[in-house]
A and B are shown apart, each in its own frame.
Chain A
Amino acid sequence: KQEVTQIPAALSVPEGENLVLNCSFTDSAIYNLQWFRQDPGKGLTSLLLIQSSQREQTSGRLNASLDKSSGRSTLYIAASQPGDSATYLCAVRPLIKAAGNKLTFGGGTRVLVKP
């Protein structure tokens, strides 16, 4: 059974620092990995999607890397801003069709960027 872990559970940094969020998964047979942002009381917003054949994806100040063999992904957010304060979730989709298309989520990292 796939398990996804995100450490730390919470992170507080001063504005301008770079953020490093970690995600690990136990089963490397994944189809893709997706990073989401969730604001309090809101749904999830997709940030980056990395296919299993890719090693990284970039969008603006965000960069996500994927090391499938070691079961790890890292989300980097450069020059953090107070508006980056939110919970960040990673989720993996299984490779094997029999396992379905469901995503397995980590517990999230709650980020606070202090002005």
Chain B
Amino acid sequence: GAGVSQTPSNKVTEKGKYVELRCDPISGHTALYWYRQSLGQGPEFLIYFQGTGAADDSGLPNDRFFAVRPEGSVSTLKIQRTERGDSAVYLCASSSGTGASYTFGSGTRLTVV
């Protein structure tokens, strides 16, 4: 597609539930990134994929968070046993390679009640 697409744009879930957030990167972009942005702060890195593999998952806060990119295109961020502190905007970005600029999606606003 022309840009990075993220679905859903908004998600409200109850504490303890499982959620999946989807990212569809720009066609042909091999690098895909997930970031999390809390209100009034800059985005914080979660995980980076090069192709199908997670090249760097050092930003995932704990083992409740997991992400996949099985075919090297669409990625899904999965959060188990959600907590109120998980509420944030989850941003996805893709890039054509090292040194190239990032293109971000509009984000998924997750609210855990």
Whether A101 and B103, one on each chain, are in contact in the complex, defined by CB atoms closer than 8 angstroms, is no
> Could you tell me which residues of chain A, from 38 to 73, have a CB within 8 Å of some CB in chain B?
41-46, 49, 51
Inter-chain CB contacts under 8 Å: number = 66
Interface size, chain B (Cβ < 8 Å): 29
B101 within 8 A of A: yes
Complex CA distance for A107 and B38, rounded to whole angstroms: 10
Whether B99 and A32, one on each chain, are in contact in the complex, defined by CB atoms closer than 8 angstroms, is yes
B106 within 8 A of A: yes
A104 within 8 A of B: yes
B45 within 8 A of A: yes
Complex CA distance for A30 and B108, rounded to whole angstroms: 29
**Given A100-B48, A102-B45, A102-B56: A43 and B105 within 8 A (CB)?**
yes
Complex CA distance for A106 and B56, rounded to whole angstroms: 21
B44 within 8 A of A: yes
Query: A40 CB to closest chain B CB, in angstroms?
Result: 11
Instruction: Mark contacts of B94-113 with chain A using CB atoms, 8 A cut-off: 1 yes-contact digit, 0 otherwise.
Output: 01001101111111010000
The answer, among B6, B31, B101, for a CB contact under 8 Å with A101, is B31
B61 within 8 A of A: no
Interface size, chain A (Cβ < 8 Å): 25
Which residues of A lie under 8 Å from residue B56 when comparing CB positions? 100-102
Closest residue of chain A to B10 (Cβ to Cβ) is: A41
Closest residue of chain B to A41 (Cβ to Cβ) is: B109
| Residue among B4, B31, B103 with the highest chain A CB neighbour number at 10 A | B103
Whether B105 and A104, one on each chain, are in contact in the complex, defined by CB atoms closer than 8 angstroms, is no
- 24 pairs, A vs B, C-beta closer than 8 Å: A6-B42, A34-B101, A42-B107, A43-B6, A43-B91, A43-B106, A43-B107, A44-B43, A44-B93, A44-B102, A46-B102, A46-B104, A49-B101, A51-B99, A100-B56, A100-B58, A102-B45, A103-B35, A103-B43, A103-B45, A105-B42, A105-B43, A106-B42, A108-B42
